[in-house]
Amino acid sequence: MSKILLVEDNEMNRDMLSRRLLKKGYHVSIAVDGAEAIAMARSHLPDVILMDMGLPVLNGWDATRQLKSMPETKNIGIIALSAHALSDDREKALAAGCDDFDTKPIDFPRLLGKIESMLARKPHHD
């Protein structure tokens, strides 16, 4: 079962997304800020991280940079989630090390497609 770390400070978004991911058979862990995201990514080693960019404590940009600089987490696929569909947000997310980008409000089928294609590219260590 693929593990997803959902990093989202908005409770409504968090509940909706985690429920839908669980229904699709994913194991979901939740972090509410960037610092917690880093700690959980290091302890859970998820397959994919859904990273909200506008986070308290440590934002998604900085959390992603840190995760991509650590040997144990640098290969985890990170999909940036941002309410700002501005093209420079996408560029900024990719520059910070995110592997993909999606906009809010979340289009779940589209996001699911991105998660699935990321998992398909990941080398499996079974």
DSSP string, 100-123: EEEESSP-HHHHHHHHHHHHHHSP
Q: How confident is residue 8, by pLDDT bands cut at 50, 70 and 90?
A: very high
Q: What does the alpha-carbon distance between residue 66 and residue 33 come to, in Å, rounded to a whole number?
A: 13
Check: CB of residue 46 under 8 Å from CB of residue 73. no
For 39-83, what is each residue's pLDDT tens digit? 999 999 999 999 999 998 999 999 999 999 999 999 999 999 988
Look up the pTM and report it: 0.93
Residue 89: enclosing H or E segment and its boundaries? helix 87-96
- The residue among 110, 106, 103 whose CA lies nearest residue 84 is 103
CATH topology classification for 3-121: Rossmann fold (3.40.50)
Domain ranges of the chain: 3-121
For 12-25, what is each residue's pLDDT tens digit? 999 999 999 999 99
